[in-house]
């Protein structure tokens, strides 16, 4: 499909794995120049030939964002046309067990990274005349989960940020979000990740049983998605095909929405 992205400049935050990697690859296939930032320098180096540039940076820190933004501006010679804020991680835990340190860490990863990157780039992106930002949120922004409380609070904040920035910077920068249900990425698959946490929580024998129970409990008829499922939606929203869409939050995965 031709998304009309030939010659566009795109910056992907947290793109070495999963959804970010799938987005970077699809944008590159569509003719965009792509820079990927991630703290996993080894994996970035392995995949560098697929993209225009890479920059190793911990985007959960102010210094990491500054490093990545400086590289993008130097390499492109100007602000990007497309910014994808994809950094995020959540852990299943009861509210009373989430410490102040856990809260602070979650805020830095899941919210402040996006805030800092947008603050650094969006005024310059507006000068391009037609730019786009897509933020990777989560279904828990609209459907609270007690066991993902700190992560969900951050993703709800990200939804507010998306809509507020869309209003402020229209029509020069469109700002949208995707809100995926569960997607089979490192957040789930890593050792000690959500799949293993569910095994412990449900007291079942293996990941397959735990994930099946999770999907049944939450009425997720489409199952767990793949990174490409989300990437297709993100690239559409970033493209000129979505020129009439801003401030939107696209629900993905068939989640039955809850309270918000």
Task: Write down all domains in the chain, each with its CATH number in brackets.
Answer: 9-183+226-252 (3.40.50.720), 186-224 (no CATH)
The dihedral built from the CA positions of residue 108, 109, 112 and 116, taken in this order, carries a sign that is positive
The whole-angstrom separation of Cα 36 and Cα 47 is 10
Q: Who's near 28: CB < 8 A, 6+ residues apart?
A: 34, 50, 51, 52
- Inter-axis angle of helices 194-202 and 207-217, to 10 degrees? 80
| pTM for the whole structure | 0.90
pLDDT at 1: 74
pLDDT exceeds cutoff 80 at 66? yes
Which of 110-119, 129-138, 197-206 has the least mean pLDDT? 197-206
H and E: helices and strands count for the chain: 10, 7
Contact 232, 241 (CB under 8 A): no
The whole-angstrom separation of Cα 136 and Cα 116 is 15
Contact 136, 88 (CB under 8 A): yes
pLDDT at 172: 98
Sheet of strand 173-180: strand arrangement: 53-56, 33-38, 9-13, 82-85, 131-136, 173-180, 249-252
Both tokens assigned to 103:
């809260």
Mean pLDDT on 147-166: 95
**What is the percentage of the chain residues whose pLDDT exceeds 70?**
97
Length of the chain: 260
pLDDT exceeds cutoff 90 at 184? no
Contact 162, 122 (CB under 8 A): no
Which of 18-27, 81-90, 246-255 has the least mean pLDDT? 246-255
First to last CA, the chain: 34
Mean pLDDT on 160-189: 91
Contact 11, 121 (CB under 8 A): yes
């Amino acid at each position: 499909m031709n998304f009309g992205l030939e010659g566009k400049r795109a910056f992907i935050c947290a793109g070495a794995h999963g959804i970010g990697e799938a987005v970077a690859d699809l944008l590159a296939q569509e003719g965009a120049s792509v820079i990927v930032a991630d703290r996993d320098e080894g994996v970035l180096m392995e995949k560098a030939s697929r993209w225009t540039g890479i920059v190793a940076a911990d985007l959960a820190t102010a210094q990491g964002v500054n490093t990545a933004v400086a590289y993008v501006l130097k390499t492109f010679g100007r602000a990007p046309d497309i910014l994808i804020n994809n950094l995020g991680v959540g852990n299943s835990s009861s509210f009373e067990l989430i410490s102040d340190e856990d809260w602070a860490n979650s805020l830095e990863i899941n919210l402040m990274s996006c805030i800092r990157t947008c603050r650094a780039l969006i005024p310059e992106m507006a000068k391009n005349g037609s730019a786009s930002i897509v933020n990777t949120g989560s279904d828990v922004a609209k459907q609270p989960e007690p066991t993902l409380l700190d992560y969900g609070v951050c993703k709800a904040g990200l939804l507010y940020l998306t809509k507020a920035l869309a209003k402020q910077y229209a029509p020069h920068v469109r700002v949208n979000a995707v809100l995926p249900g569960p997607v089979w990425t490192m957040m789930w698959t890593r050792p000690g990740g959500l799949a293993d946490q569910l095994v412990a929580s449900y007291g079942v024998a293996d990941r397959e049983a735990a994930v099946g129970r999770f999907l049944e409990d939450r009425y997720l008829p489409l199952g767990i998605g793949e990174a490409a499922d989300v990437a297709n939606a993100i690239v559409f929203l970033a493209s000129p095909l979505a020129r009439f869409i801003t401030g939107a939050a696209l629900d993905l995965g068939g989640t039955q929405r809850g309270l918000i």
